[in-house]
Copies of this chain bind each other. A is one copy, B any other.
């Protein structure tokens, strides 16, 4: 339908996370029918972001400045929160509960995906700890088998520095109905129960 340029554009959108052929087609139609107000601004925004955004050489965050806004902010607490990816860093920032620094690992250890410690930003983290002497390391890794394995390895590597290493609490999420939760979450929440 509609020539190779159109097919290619739909295919590019269909590859994006959360989108498929159907939603991609819908988006492309919308863009093409509103070329000046949607398509061209989007194309410009892509070019500009591509030219401006880089990885922070300290923590791995994406920003238009290096060091990133967070690393450059010396009013922040001297703690390091270790996250799997930039999306997690942004999610924590949106929660407005943490005022320290971050470190983006770039993944978790995974036997299936063949990712070992050398594939993650673990060595740069240890170098930072040696250089910055943080008050605390917070492991904010996913509550999965791979996340737990990664946390275990990190805890081990951080032992020589004898500094507090903590991890996020696990339990029932806010607004969560018990009946839709998996057994693992329920078991953890029950074991970690606190006085009411």
Residues of A participating in the B interface, judged by any CB pair closer than 8 Å: 1-6, 8-9, 11-13, 15-19, 23, 25-33, 35, 38-43, 45-53, 61-65, 68-69, 85-87, 90, 93-94
State the Cβ distance, A106 to closest chain B Cβ, in Å.
9
CB neighbours (8 Å) of A38 from chain B are: 12, 15-16
State the Cβ distance, A56 to closest chain B Cβ, in Å.
10
CB neighbours (8 Å) of A25 from chain B are: 87, 90
Known pairs A26-B87, A40-B50; A62 contacts B12 (CB<8 A): no
Whether B29 contacts A13 by the Cβ 8 Å rule is no
CB neighbours (8 Å) of A50 from chain B are: 32, 35, 39-40, 43
- 15 further A-B pairs in the complex, CB-CB below 8 A; given A1-B93, A5-B53: A1-B69, A1-B90, A3-B63, A6-B53, A6-B62, A8-B49, A9-B45, A9-B49, A12-B41, A16-B31, A32-B49, A32-B62, A40-B50, A43-B50, A46-B46
